[in-house]
Amino acid sequence: MSETTSNPTSATNNNNQTAVVDKYNVETAEILANEAQHLPISEAVPIYEQLLTVFPTAAKYWRQYLEAQMAVNNDEATKQIFSRCLLNCFQIPLWRCYIRFIRKVNEKKGVEGQEETRKAFDFMLNFVGADIASGPVWMEYIAFLKSYPAQTTQEESQRMTAVRKAYQKAIVTPTHHVEQLWKDYENFENSVSRALAKGLLSEYQSKYNSAKAVYREQKKYVDEIDWNMLAVPPTGTSKEEMQWMAWKKFLAFEKGNPQRIDSNSSNKRILYTYEQCLMYLYHYPDIWYDYATWHARNGSIDAAIKVFQRASKALPDSDMLRYAYAELEESRGAIQPAKKIYESLLGDGVNATALVHIQFIRFLRRTEGVEAARKYFLDARKSPNCTYHVFVAYAMMAFCLDKDPKVAHNVFEAGLKRFMHEPGYILEYADFLSRLNDDRNIRALFERALSSLPPDESVEVWKRFTQFEQTYGDLASMLKVEQRRKEALSRTGEDGTTALESSLQDVVSRYSFMDLWPCSSRDLDHLARQEWLAKNINKKVEKSAILKGVGSTEKSASGFTTNSNPATKVFYPDTSQMVVYDPRQKPGTGALPSTTAPVLPSISGTLSNPSVPMVSSRPANPLDEILKSTPPALVAFIANLPAVEGPSPDVDVVLSICLQSNVSTGQTGLSTQLAAGPVPSTSDLSGSSKSHPVPSGSSFKPMRDRQPGKRKDLDRQEDDETATAQSLPLPRDVFKIRQIRKARGGTTSQTGSASYGSAFSGELSGSTG
């Protein structure tokens, strides 16, 4: 119970976060919208208003709200709703709902009503006519124009001209129905005049082809966008990031003007794409900023200001956007509007942050002069939220911009009485005094600060004091401050006595400069390693953990890592320590050839196969466990990799051959007959003086580091006509393995020849003539 009530501020913050999450809960919104559809309009209105307050750009909720009002013929309410949503939601279904309403209202007004409907069509196509889904709208508009009454020849000619213009606009717009519109246009022109149609169609053929090609490219970007997504604040989910990237790509595509149309038409499409994007990324400040700066770059400053004003309403807590807005106003010389933006950030001044105070002081210094900035600083320092940053900012402004070190010094001194407990303020003050070359006051400042700061908060101040003495002091003062620092900080750690002792790292610290060091990087690593060992030498840890401190995964204070439970970790090979295999290595040397490349980690412990050479006798390494769990046949194969001329065989191919082989652990009775001629004796294998023919004239290399006991074992195995894969060397030619595998189907053996089974199964049968 005490833990629950001990931190009410944290609980309040968590409740606020939960409220925000619940407010933008998509599933809850969908449930409410579905319920509203089945309620009377009087009960549904509050639900729709609640939903649209949270999701003001949700076109599907606006359309559902409008259809509910239209169903009960509430025309005035419908008009009011359209005026609230149309220019903020550029979605074709919503706009088609608008044109349905207009046609319904005007259907009984005769010619006057038809003219109102035509104006509504023009209004709609002016905004959403460039949409990739606007094909049905163009078709509906053209059908409406064709149905327009014409009493005279002149009216008929005007109607045909209007239809032709509508077709010509539609066929150069990349939409889903562009091909159908082109076919309809061809039929229309041919029905009017075949002679005139040929010239018009040839004129617009290339424009249509360009629109069709752009549509195919545009569709790739449009298909990546989720058009049913609701605008919610970003939470960092992968879906949100994918949608953000999809919109960014779509915007970049439109900005590239792929159709090579005039700049006004291109800018209109880009503007439309931004407006569509904000329907879904309404809570993303970077989209608002990009939109406003795009307007500004194109010379539309007024449009950029309107975007910033909309952004301030959409994201009232985004200080970034308001700073950018004020910057735009200031850049065009509108000082008073910019000042109002800063004042809105300040509010009543009680809850204003230190950063707002600082930025307003700088703004006043730029626009109204030094005196205005000074007056505001005198008021701001009385604010309860005024931190030491405000004092530092004003002091440095007076020093660097006004060239008045005396005022700056007085500000720092005034702040010191209030912020003596702030290490950050002490360090900024010390930097200022360093610029004045006032070494005496710097020492006095450090002494005053360190006498009042608790040891656990004085680490950075001691560090800066030590650096100052190392740079500007004599040897005696340098050593004295270092010793005082050790004594002060030794009381904060467990290794107090160790910290008091001098170390070689102190010398490195004293005699280094910037990125220049009095030793090599290897020496630095070694010193860090020794420091870690010294700190852990008295702790109750396993000896193996101390030995493996460098290669473990738990961060220590010195930058080394420890692995408290290596058995639960999965170890992966360190490819940076791998060496190139040298086929010229002599058998029986027991070590890898020397190389300039880094050596492999140590392999300690005795492996099950003595033929695998030892690399070094360093302490145990996790690689040992990997090698111990490796099948003996594979270990023997690796240890006896043969020398080859020319390029070495691909390791993956060789291992795949091994894995595809049927490894046998006992005698199977199968033998493979290989054609062979007389070859040198293989007595090295058996230890006897008998001579055995071997396949293909190839010879076997003796095993490395072979022992006499192993020779006797081999003699005994030969007598039993069995041999293990650990004791059998492989053929010199690695690719002979595949030939052996192909020949394994043979089961007969001839007298006077040696018959070998699979090199992996360990079969060996020999007979002498």
Residue 549 has pLDDT above 90, yes or no: no
Answer whether 562's CB lies under 8 Å from 549's CB: yes
pLDDT number for residue 389? 96
Q: Which of 221, 226, 220, 256 is nearest to 241 (CA)?
A: 226
Residue 666 has pLDDT above 60, yes or no: no
Is residue 382 situated within a structural domain?
no
Confidence band, pLDDT 50/70/90 cuts, at residue 218: very high
Q: pLDDT higher for 12 or 534? A: 534
Q: Are residues 758 and 672 in the same domain?
A: yes
Residue 492 has pLDDT above 80, yes or no: no
**Average pLDDT of the residues in 47-59:** 95
Distance CA 404, CA 398 (A): 6
Please say which residue of 94, 128, 162 terminates a domain: 128
pLDDT number for residue 571? 58
Confidence band, pLDDT 50/70/90 cuts, at residue 427: very high
Residue 8 has pLDDT above 60, yes or no: no
Specify which residues 513 forms β-bridges with. 516
Confidence band, pLDDT 50/70/90 cuts, at residue 385: confident
Q: Are residues 112 and 148 in the same domain?
A: no
Q: pLDDT higher for 738 or 515? A: 515
Distance CA 672, CA 674 (A): 6
User: Which residues are CB-contacts of 594 (< 8 A; sequence separation ≥ 6)?
Assistant: none
CA dihedral 363, 364, 370, 376 (to 10 degrees): -120
- The single-letter DSSP state of residue 611 is T
Q: Are residues 158 and 178 in the same domain?
A: yes
Confidence band, pLDDT 50/70/90 cuts, at residue 535: confident
Length of the chain counted residue by residue? 769
Of 271-285, 394-408, 471-485, 660-674, the one with minimum mean pLDDT is 660-674
Instruction: List pLDDT tens digits, range 580-592.
Output: 665 555 444 444 4
Is residue 703 situated within a structural domain?
yes
Give the CATH number for residue 119.
1.25.40.10
Q: Are residues 124 and 139 in the same domain?
A: no
Q: Are residues 110 and 181 in the same domain?
A: no
Share of the chain above pLDDT 90, in %: 53
Is residue 201 situated within a structural domain?
yes
C-alpha separations of 750 from 367, 765, 768 in Å: 107, 11, 10
Q: Are residues 123 and 140 in the same domain?
A: no
Confidence band, pLDDT 50/70/90 cuts, at residue 89: very high
Q: Are residues 158 and 100 in the same domain?
A: no
pLDDT number for residue 624? 66
Confidence band, pLDDT 50/70/90 cuts, at residue 734: very low
Confidence band, pLDDT 50/70/90 cuts, at residue 659: low
Q: Are residues 741 and 672 in the same domain?
A: yes
Share of the chain above pLDDT 70, in %: 67
Distance CA 386, CA 419 (A): 11
Residue 123 has pLDDT above 50, yes or no: yes
Say how many domains are in the chain.
Answer: 3
Q: Are residues 57 and 121 in the same domain?
A: yes
Q: Are residues 112 and 175 in the same domain?
A: no
Residue 68 has pLDDT above 70, yes or no: yes
Instruction: List pLDDT tens digits, range 153-198.
Output: 888 899 999 999 999 999 999 999 999 999 999 999 999 888 888 8
Of 296-305, 527-536, 555-564, 652-661, the one with minimum mean pLDDT is 555-564
Residue 237 has pLDDT above 80, yes or no: yes
Please say which residue of 128, 146, 172 terminates a domain: 128
Instruction: List pLDDT tens digits, range 566-582.
Output: 444 455 666 666 666 65
pLDDT number for residue 100? 95
Distance CA 603, CA 264 (A): 72
Please say which residue of 181, 206, 223 terminates a domain: 223
Residue 444 has pLDDT above 90, yes or no: yes
Q: Are residues 138 and 123 in the same domain?
A: no
Q: pLDDT higher for 653 or 544? A: 653
Residue 676 has pLDDT above 50, yes or no: no
Instruction: List pLDDT tens digits, range 598-641.
Output: 443 433 333 444 443 444 444 455 566 666 777 777 777 776 76
Distance CA 409, CA 399 (A): 9
Of 51-55, 378-382, 447-451, 705-709, the one with minimum mean pLDDT is 705-709
Query: Which residue range is the domain that position 190 belongs to?
Result: 133-223
Confidence band, pLDDT 50/70/90 cuts, at residue 493: low
pLDDT number for residue 50? 94
Distance CA 521, CA 112 (A): 88
Q: Are residues 95 and 149 in the same domain?
A: no
Is residue 217 situated within a structural domain?
yes
Please list, residue by residue across 315-352, b when 16 or more beta carbons sit within 10 angstroms of its beta carbon and e when fewer do. Answer: beebeebbbbbbebbbeeeeeeebbebbeebbeebeeb
Is residue 412 situated within a structural domain?
no
- The single-letter DSSP state of residue 591 is S
Instruction: List pLDDT tens digits, range 11-52.
Output: 444 444 444 557 899 999 999 999 999 999 999 999 999 999
Angle at 688 between CA 687 and CA 690, to 5 degrees: 140
Is residue 90 situated within a structural domain?
yes
Instruction: List pLDDT tens digits, range 689-728.
Output: 444 444 444 444 444 444 444 444 544 444 444 444 444 4
**Average pLDDT of the residues in 299-319:** 95
Angle at 196 between CA 194 and CA 197, to 5 degrees: 60
Of 6-20, 45-59, 208-222, 750-764, the one with minimum mean pLDDT is 750-764
